[in-house]
Structure 1
Amino acid sequence: MRFDVYTPLLVSLLLPLISPVIARRVAPALAARVLTAAAVLTAAAATWSLILLTTALLGEAPPVVREAHEDGRPLADPVPEVIGLAACLALVMVVWRVQRAVRAERRTRRALRRLCEGHPRDTELVVAACEVPQAFAIPGRPGRILVTSAMLGALAPAERRVLLAHERAHLRHRHGRLVTAVTLAAAANPLLAPVRSAVTFLAERWADERAATEVGDRDTTARALARAALSARPGCALNFADRAVTRRIAALQTAPPPSLWPAAAAVLALGVGAALFAADATDDLVRLLFNALT
């Protein structure tokens, strides 16, 4: 346990370092999936490691441990007490951050759903009369696409097709679930914040590629992104940010990235490895307590 329990924390440092490379070189759909899976596994393993580390605080509290001391049986602390205290404090922060992230996610979902109230359930596209160019994919049953009249007015007919195809891709491939999962993982483990940024970017790149495939023209897709970016406030439509949209336009002007399965498998192996090491640390702790109490 002395070494295995810290491995998920080490993976939490490695995963953010490689996520930008994976985001650039691996097909967006594959990269988004493996990075999300690895982040969730790593966050869960790191949280469980914190729980294991708090065992240093057990001391004399549990009756079974107290009995072991009274009988003269040795019970060595798995880790120093100061580390257990730090882990306990970290666990409190994990719970607080995850609860806050869940509440924020629910507030956002409710606010977006309210914008579509009053429309028939089978209405996919909702156009709002607004002077601010915006577009959103609103997940749910059914999923909706909310577009403002200003955004539609800023785009040519072919570019509107790109916009709608992009938002449909978000709904069809459930990008909201991926982003939510990696957001909660980053809330539980702040070291994974760069992975969340990478997955958010990859979800947009994934939708860009699907829109380009549906429209059949990568140049038109790139022009639609550029025109919408010039019209929209940062972060409003198609998840625009100056640097991110530049990278997305540049990616559309080249061939789609390959599905590098070995690289994707290596990323996923990091998350699986973190979970396995946490499981091994659990087994070590159980054996230590069993040997001391029998």
Structure 2
Amino acid sequence: MRFDVYTPLLLALLLPAVSPVIGRRVAPALAARVLVSAAVLTAAATTWSLVLLATALLGDAPPVVREAREDGHRIADPVPEVIGVAACLALAVVAWRVHRALRTERSTRRALRRLCEGQPADTELIVAASAVPQAFAIPGRPGRILVTSAMLCALEPAERRVLLAHERAHLTDRHGLLVTAATLAAAANPLLTPVRDAVAFLVERGADERAADAVGDRAATARALARAALTAGRVWPTCTLNFTDRAVTRRIAALQTAPPPRMLSAAAAVLALGALPALLAADATGDLYGLLASVLT
């Protein structure tokens, strides 16, 4: 308990450090899923560690102290009281951050669903008359692709196929769920914010690779991406699945090279890094349970 409960908090520093390396060396679709899984495990473990630290204050509760003294038990102090109080405050912050992230996510999804109102159920593509060149995927059942008329007019027919293949990849690969999970993990543990950013980039890279496979031409995909980026007047921050983003130059450069390998061994190492905090938190839980049981029985 004395050491295991703190270790997940320290291991949370390692995942942001390795995420850029994984993003560069592992196929983006696999890297995104691995990083999201590790981030969710790490966020859950660190949050549970805070719960354990706060629960340790139960040993100082007057009824527990009185009962232990009556039974002649010695009360061990698993953590200093100041750390337990700090853990309680940190849990309150975590709850507020996660609630805010969920509220933002619900608001964004409601706004996106409103864009689909009145459209036939079997319509995948929605073309909006707008002078702002924009394209993004709208997750749901069914998923939709919204493209403005300005974006379509700016692209050649072959480039339009790339754009639609890119956005369709977001829907079929459920990138919206990956980004949401990474966002909630970062809300629960701010140390994981770089991982969330890496996942947001990797889902775009994954969609780029799927689009390149669909059209059979990586160079044409890079040209379409470049033209869409130059055409777009601005990026909408509320739409996380935009066809264009601030890292577009990195995506274009990646399309001009061979696709990265899957590197399953590296992916497995990252998953292990995410599972380790969870295992240590579970061990700390057993230690605390044994400690409280010895006092209360």
Give the TM-score normalised by structure 1.
0.97
Match of 2:245 in 1: 241
Per the alignment, residue 200 of structure 2 pairs with: 200
Q: Is the Cα–Cα contact under 8 Å of residues 138 and 144 in structure 1 kept in the other structure?
A: yes
**What is the aligned length?**
293
- Alpha carbons 1:98, 1:187 under 8 Å: kept: yes
1:283 and 2:286 are equivalent in the alignment: yes
Q: Distance in 2 between matches of 1:140 and 1:66?
A: 56
2:7 alignment partner in structure 1: 7
Please give the secondary structure, in 2, of the residue aligned with 1:183. helix
Aligned residue type for 2:275: V
SS at match of 2:137: strand
What is the alpha-carbon distance in structure 1 between the residues aligned to residue 264 and residue 258 of structure 2? 18
Q: Which residue of 2 aligns with 1:31?
A: 31
Partner SS state of residue 58, structure 1: helix
- Give the secondary-structure state (helix, strand or coil) at the position aligned to 2:12: helix
* Distance of 2:255 and 2:122 partners within structure 1: 32
Q: For 2:51 and 2:79, how far apart are their aligned partners in 1?
A: 12
How far off is 1:70 after superposition?
Answer: 3.0
Q: How big is the shift at 1:77?
A: 1.4
Residue number in structure 2 paired with 1:47: 47
Deviation, structure 1 residue 64: 4.3
Partner of 1:263: 266
- In the TM superposition, 1:161-172 aligns within 5 A as 161-172=161-172
- For 2:224 and 2:62, how far apart are their aligned partners in 1? 64
Q: After superposition, give the CA deviation of every residue in 1:177-200 in whole Å (9 maximum; x if it has no partner).
A: 000001000000000000000001
CA distance in 1, matches of 2:64, 2:259: 60
Q: Quote how far apart the aligned CAs of 1:136 are.
A: 1.2
Identity %: 77
Change in 2 beyond 3 A, CA 1:22/1:68: same
- 1 CA distance for matches of 2:8 and 2:60? 28
Question: Relative to structure 1, is the Cα distance of residues 255 and 62 closer, same or farther in structure 2, using a 3 angstrom cutoff?
Answer: farther
Query: The residue matched to 1:126 in structure 2 has which SS?
Result: strand
- Pairs within 5 Å for 1:107-256: 107-236=107-236, 238-242=242-246, 244-256=247-259
Q: Deviations over 1:220-247 (max 9, x none)?
A: 10001100001113434835333x1000
CA drift of 1:9 comes to 0.8
Going from structure 1 to structure 2, the CA distance change for 1:62 and 1:223 (only over 3 Å counts) comes to farther
Of 89-98 and 68-77, more deviation after overlay is shown by 68-77
User: Cα gap change, 1:219/1:164 in structure 2, threshold over 3 Å: closer, same or farther?
Assistant: same
1:7 to partner: Cα distance: 1.4
- Separation in 1 of the partners of 2:67 and 2:60? 9
Q: 1:293 to 1:245 in 2, by over 3 A?
A: same
Distance 1:62 1:182, change over 3 A: farther
CA RMSD in angstroms comes to 1.3
Residues 60 and 66 of structure 1 are in contact (CA less than 8 Å); yes or no, is this contact kept in structure 2?
no
2:165 aligned counterpart, secondary structure = helix
Secondary structure at the counterpart of residue 102 of structure 1: helix
Provide closer, same or farther for how the CA distance between residues 48 and 143 of structure 1 changes in structure 2, counting only shifts above 3 A.
same
Distance in 2 (CA, whole Å) between partners of 1:193 and 1:74 is 43
Structure 1: runs of 5+ lacking an equivalent: none
1:55 CA displacement? 2.4
Q: Which residue is equivalent to 1:100?
A: 100
- In structure 2, the residue matched to 1:272 is 275
Secondary structure at 1:46 match in 2: helix
The one-letter code sitting in structure 2 at the alignment partner of 1:273 is L
Runs of 4+ in 1 over 4 A off after TM superposition: none
Query: Aligned equivalents of 2:69 and 2:258: distance in 1?
Result: 67
Could you tell which deviates more after superposition, 89-98 or 281-290?
281-290
Q: Indicate conservation of the 8 Å contact 2:134/2:243, yes or no.
A: no
